[in-house]
């Protein structure tokens, strides 16, 4: 496999930006603050290059980054109900930063932290130490993420982590995509997700039960445009203001566990595609995870990004590979607990091609 060349540039606020460039001049820029995906420059079917990631115009916006643009999320991606969980008989209270919910790692999640970067033959590695008590979590956690870009337009994100005490762990990447380069909303994007069920949510966006996608706005087993589905009279869409739901991805090896690992292990398999007819760009998502959060940018209105105008609702989408939201409080909690001697591993790739 041919690996991208990597260059670095010092930016404002003590941040360093790293750019991965493949043989076709596709470029992905990553910040060492939050291990954040900043930009992904790629051509459309006519060779016109645009940035398919949404974000801020400069480093200042990423200091708070309330929409989580491109951030590496931890220790817990998505929500924990009431900011509480019980682990080995002990009760823990973690940051409540969305009403009573814990969201995306709390007030000072991994997406805001300074990561240590090193350039390796395989790509850009970023590492982070999260001390016991950070956001209320137990255990001293060591986290590593490797970003790679190949000549086939595949951005790889390989995660690993270990802890000296049991702790919940659910890492994900929160990139906001718009395959037309931000020239319009995502209504014409055609989405497919390989899932027969999704998790319905209550008014706090906490999952309540798994439901079949059949006959609902959530059925993307066959490719369908996002825009018309947003207009369906579906109670779940009304609750979330659009799509903000976790899909239960089809397992290829149900219940398989590898020695020394903390979770069920799935092969890296393609789980979703998004196609923009206007530009011809297509994004394919593959992951080893069991869940995929589809978020249709419901709370983007008024956020000042890189364009001349503020972002509007549904100007971008996220496909976040992860464990199930609030799983630490469910019957399968053990699958998301990282214990001493175990290694958390996850691989997710986003491949950009042109049709």
- Token pair listed for 100: 């009573």
Q: Are 9 and 145 in contact (CB under 8 A)?
A: no
Annotation says 320 is catalytic: yes
Contacts of 261 (CB under 8 A, 6+ apart): 342, 343, 344, 345
Q: Are 293 and 246 in contact (CB under 8 A)?
A: yes
CA 63 to chain centre: 19
Annotation says 174 is catalytic: yes
Closest residue by Cα to residue 4 from 117, 145, 151: 151
Cα 302-304-307 angle, rounded to 5 deg: 115
Closest residue by Cα to residue 26 from 1, 8, 62, 52: 52
Q: Are 329 and 265 in contact (CB under 8 A)?
A: no
Closest residue by Cα to residue 62 from 119, 100, 109: 109
Closest residue by Cα to residue 242 from 142, 184, 313: 313
Q: DSSP string spanning 289-349?
A: -SEEEEE--TT-TT---SSSS---TTS-BEEEEES-TTGGGSTTGGGGEE-TT-BEEEEEE
β-strand pairing of 318-322 with 5-10: unpaired
Closest residue by Cα to residue 145 from 74, 60, 59, 39: 74
Closest residue by Cα to residue 220 from 264, 241, 189: 189
Which residue in the block uniquely carries the two structure tokens 């991994």?
A: 110
Catalytic residue among 104, 189, 245, 320: 320
Catalytic residue among 104, 111, 174, 189: 174
DSSP 8-state code for residue 183: S
Which residues are known catalytic residues? 174, 320
């Amino acid at each position: 496999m041919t690996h991208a060349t990597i260059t670095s540039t010092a930016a404002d606020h003590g941040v360093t930006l790293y750019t991965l460039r493949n043989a076709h001049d596709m470029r992905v820029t990553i910040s060492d603050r939050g291990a954040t995906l900043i930009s992904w420059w790629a051509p459309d079917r006519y060779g016109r290059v645009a940035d398919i990631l949404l974000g801020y115009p400069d480093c200042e916006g990423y200091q708070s980054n309330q929409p989580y643009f491109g951030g590496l999320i931890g220790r817990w991606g998505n929500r924990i109900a009431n900011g509480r969980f019980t682990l080995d008989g002990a009760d823990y209270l973690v940051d409540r930063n969305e009403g009573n919910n814990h969201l995306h790692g709390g007030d000072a999640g991994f997406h805001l932290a300074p990561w240590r970067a090193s350039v390796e033959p395989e790509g850009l590695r970023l590492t982070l130490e999260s001390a016991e008590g950070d956001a209320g979590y137990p255990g001293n956690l060591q986290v590593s993420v490797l970003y790679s870009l190949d000549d086939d337009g595949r951005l790889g994100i390989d995660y690993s982590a270990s802890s000296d005490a049991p702790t919940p762990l659910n890492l994900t990447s929160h990139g906001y995509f718009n395959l037309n380069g931000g020239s319009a909303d995502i209504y014409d994007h055609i989405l497919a997700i390989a899932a027969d069920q999704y998790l319905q949510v209550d008014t706090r966006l906490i999952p309540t039960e798994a439901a079949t996608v059949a006959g609902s706005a959530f059925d993307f087993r066959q490719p369908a445009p996002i825009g018309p589905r947003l207009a369906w009279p579906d109670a779940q869409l009304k609750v979330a203001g659009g799509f903000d739901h976790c899909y239960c991805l089809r397992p290829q090896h149900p219940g398989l566990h590898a020695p020394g690992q903390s979770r069920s292990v799935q092969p890296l398999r393609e789980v979703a595609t998004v196609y923009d007819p206007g530009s011809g760009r297509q994004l394919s998502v593959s992951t080893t995870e069991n869940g995929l959060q589809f978020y249709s940018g419901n709370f983007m209105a008024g956020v000042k990004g890189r364009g001349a105008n503020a972002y509007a609702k549904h100007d971008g989408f996220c496909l976040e590979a992860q464990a199930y939201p609030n799983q630490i409080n469910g019957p399968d909690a053990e699958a998301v607990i990282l214990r001493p001697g175990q290694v958390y591993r996850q691989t997710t790739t986003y491949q950009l091609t042109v049709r």
